[in-house]
Structure 1
Amino acid sequence: MESALDDELRRHTRDGMQIHYLINGLNGGGAAFPIPDLVAHMRGRGHQVRVLALQPQDRRSCAWLDRAGIEWQVLGRRDRDWFGAARALHAELDRDRPDLIWTSLTGATVYGQVMGATQRIPVVSWQHNAFLRPGNRRLLQLTRSLTDFWVADSQSVVDFSVRTLGLEPSRVMRWPIFRARDDAKQARTWTAGTSLRIGSLGRLHPNKRYDQLIEAVAAFSARAPALAARVEFVVGGSGEEFQRLTAQVRARGLEGRVNFVGFVDDTEAFLAGLDGYIQTSHHEGMCIAAHEAMQAGLPVICTAVGELQYSVEPGRSGWLVPIDDVDATATAIAALAANPQAAAQMGRYGRERLLERFGAAAFRRAGDAVLSRAEALVAQRAQ
């Protein structure tokens, strides 16, 4: 005999859930970047999704959402309009009550948790990073029970969430937010006698440690000036550190050798013009940019943080270096530059392994498991 829960689950699977996807803001990159792929998968299972942002931020992800046909709304009138965003969110939930609130990033998670508890709406929350500032960590430790279950964007974040937030393993699922594509543009083939381009993508923020990258380039240039003379470093991204970083480049005499080119909308084209990729971050979760680089067939130099410590095989697909280790980073740069053909072979191997671990089938399997649990949660609450 079928239960009422079975009936509700069948109804929500057939008719679809109404999901409000709540995020801090609409910055270009970071947690907003994978939303089109995530929403496409949710829609594929019959669900309707609206994206609600607490604040506008730089709005660079709006174009991606528009191209994907995703409805979005900014709640706060300006950045850091937290009270205005709270009032607008409350009004929006009254006007258009969803079956599920799905949150992304700490601020949105706390807002969603409180609104979900007061309005009796189930809440699912992303955890995107294997690092939290002390205040955010304590806050989520206090509110963790208000989320019905958590979704980590990589295995490293699963481990971090259990260890640091004190989540029960049974309440954390994994859905890697990067979906590797086998048709992505591939990196150029280096030609002997031409310059070598090593690049990076990321917000110009202290976490990315671009100051350490500049110091590593300076050390590499001092050790091997002839080799360094044919290597160019290019960083795509915008942010608060621009003036300080460009001043550091001038102080180290690296003008024309290290270039900050601003925000990059077409990341595939940017990566296809490189011969290597470098990520010097203090902390990461999935780190989509570095995984996109591997998707393009690039050898990768990166710090052993977040999912990168599992995705990069030292000596086979790239180099792992300690955080803030200028000497080790300079040594890895020299190794890549000294033998570009061998480095390119590393990039090809890294791409093959990436497609196995994070290809469309893996993305779909993980997403289906998470959404099946969300559907069951909503059906149970609807009884």
Structure 2
Amino acid sequence: MARTEAVLENVHRRIADHPEIVGDAGELARIIRQEAGVISDGDVLELLRRLRNDSAGIGALEPLLLIDGVTDIVVNAPNQVFFDRGAGLEESDAMFADRAAIRQLASRLAVACGRRLDDAQPYVDGRLARDDGSIIRVHAVLSPPAQDSPCLSLRVLRPAQTTLTELIHRGTVTPGIAELLREIIRERRSFLVVGGTGSGKTTMLSALLAEVDHRERIVCIEDTAELRPPHPHVLNLVARACNIEGSGEITMADLLRQALRMRPDRIVVGEIRGPEVVDLLAALNTGHNGGAGTIHANSLAEVPARLEALAALGGLDRAALHSQLAAAVDVVIVMKREADGTRQVHQIGTLEGVPVAAHVTWEAGRPAP
């Protein structure tokens, strides 16, 4: 192990001196053999793989992305690496040589995301696009402020392309509820999909958008590009954070205003988490029926209070929010992740009256209405 790390360190030094060789696998293999002396072809391939992961992938964490269904990878310390594939956190065999190795990987990922991570800016949040179409949401905190070791949190986001038929096979919805959801789409009802983190909100939203008439134009607005419904006319607009100099930011609210001028049949907000809720409600109340969005809320009853908090960020008071909400949103679909990792439609309901009150029309365990 120590010899392998020494060989890698020497190769990295030579790459730093001659960066043009980083894409030349033959030259890298020659350098590895030169540094290692006697080494098998298999070990050369393994070192080449590690060099690739260190330069373009996520280093020692790269093998965890091959685990089926992995959604999160977290690093608490050099020998404390965990992953989540839907059944809670599991400890992995991956490890780092020391705390400096974690910091080095976190700093490289930050640069790849167009951010900086150093003692002056000891935490970072960014997005990293991969060749397979997935996106990794990167968050890192250095020590200090992290008490013992730099911490790294990766959320793996894969394009949501599921259909309602597939969700029936998975047990997420029953055939009866699936037909009810199709009716909501056919009747151009505006709806929200709500639930906790990892409950399947985006997957459900994508499946519902796949049911939209193919003659309609859907404009999807997201913070991170996840919605890829199997529909022939979907346009994706993605928000952008400011750069290192503090300029160039494009907010969700900015994109919503642009979407209104793009002849949308349906406006969809991938995740409502800020003042853009004001623009969305205004859009839904100006003739854009059938719009949709997702928000974080654990139950139907929590939705009004959650939207009040978001609307306050956009300068909309409680009375105005409830008036807009009652007219704009027809249906709320609540997703829930069970203890075994399965995701299900938990509730379907409405928001009625001023002030708005949540009414459950169907809940898991009952027959479809």
TM-score (norm 2): 0.29
Whichever structure has more strand as a proportion of its residues is: 2
Whichever structure has more helix as a proportion of its residues is: 1
Q: Return the index of the structure with the highest Cα Rg.
A: 2
The structure whose RCO (Cα within 8 Å, separation 6+) is larger is: 1
